Amino acid sequence: MMRMLAVRGPKDGFVEEVGVNVALIRKRIKSTSMVYETKKVGVRTKTTVAILYMRDIVDPKIVQDVKNKLDDLHIDGAFSATQLEELMEPTKALFPLMGYTGRADFTVNCMLNGRVALIVDGTPAALIAPANLFLLVKAPEDIHFTALAATFGQTLRLLGLSVSLLLPAFFVAILSYHQDQLPYYLLATLGINRLGIPFDVAVEMFIALLFLEILREAGIRLPSAVGSTVTVVGGLILGDAAIRAGFLSPGIVVIGAITQIFGSTLSSLSLAGTISTLRFFLFILSATLGIYGFFLGLFIVLSHLASLRSCGLPYLAPISPPFKDLANALFRLPWPWRNTRPDMLKTRDSTRQGDRHK
């Protein structure tokens, strides 16, 4: 799922009626090459699933793969786009293999790049296939900002993903097993701040991470006005109280807060949830094996990412030769420079020179 706050760009969005959602896309794509097909999923619910793509752009293998997966579904009922995603990608993937958006403009942009959109009747969102890690890190508003501003935001989100995943585990590994790697004055400061703390570093970090995850979940579930207040006030007051009471050291609270703030830069809630889970996995390995456990966990996560595919697209593409699409994945290039579509999607029309069939 994605946070759909429209910072910039159109304010309209998908609703629960599939016909209205298709109309929002058709309003933006008036070309006859846009294909709209429907399938019924669910023996009892017979839920309508709309398949939308550009006939002269998308790779036919991607379309056929999506249709085959829908035809292979044999269930009583389909009532959620997330349910459909899990059924269509029955792998042991920890990361979401499809994009999820409630914005029509972002869906249109994905279709023009050579992707397929799936809209489930009753769900105010669209699934985007194939998806890779860089698509999930992108924000829907990026296309409405200048190249410099969008690139800066993209860089911050990639940095936020890395820091949110790795920082707590690395901090625990260094402070628990490899104190000699820290500068003397930093080590002395951290040691003084930990005087009187009844827990070791690993237990402290676990308590801080668990507390911050509970605050994050509460902020998501509560109404927006109340949720933001609970998150900010709860973090400030309870964090300060924990330090004053001697349960947590200031360093642990700072590391936990940095981790949570950097994780909040991700626009995909599904990806953010996965990062939170893997954060605890890396933390446990680091608390047990030190820096060796940290690198072991990092190797396992990267190996898992490299093994994933979404409708035939490698999940880490384009981080492999040829690197032609890498610049566009890491940065938002200016529109005059974006004359071709991503090679990794193997589109039928690789240039952005308009619709051949109008």
Q: What residues of the chain score a pLDDT lower than 50?
A: 1-3, 357-358
Tell me the residue type at 303. Answer: S
pLDDT, residue 357, reads 47
Going from N- to C-terminal start, the domains of the chain cover: 18-131+339-345, 147-310
pLDDT, one tens digit per residue, over 120-132 is 999 999 999 999 9
Which one, of 249, 258, 309, lies nearest residue 279 by Cα? 258
Residue 293 backbone dihedrals phi, psi, to 5 degrees: -65, -35
pLDDT, one tens digit per residue, over 29-88 is 998 999 999 999 989 999 999 999 999 999 999 999 999 999 988 889 888 888 898 888
Measured CA angle at 117 (ends 115, 122), to 5 deg: 165
pLDDT, residue 119, reads 95
Using the Cα atoms of residue 6, residue 2, residue 79 and residue 50 in order, give the sign of their dihedral: positive
Provide the whole-model pTM.
0.87
Which residues, 6 or more positions from 146, have their beta carbon under 8 angstroms from its beta carbon? Answer: none
The DSSP secondary structure of 238-263, one letter per residue, reads HHHHHHHHTSS-HHHHHHHHHHHHHH
Instruction: Give the C-alpha separation, 285 to 79, whole Å.
Output: 38
Instruction: Give the C-alpha separation, 93 to 89, whole Å.
Output: 8
pLDDT, residue 321, reads 65
pLDDT, residue 90, reads 66
pLDDT, residue 331, reads 82
The residue with tokens 């017979």 is 46
Chain centroid to CA 194: how far? 35
pLDDT, residue 249, reads 87
The tokens for 204 are: 């402290």
pLDDT, one tens digit per residue, over 157-167 is 999 999 999 99
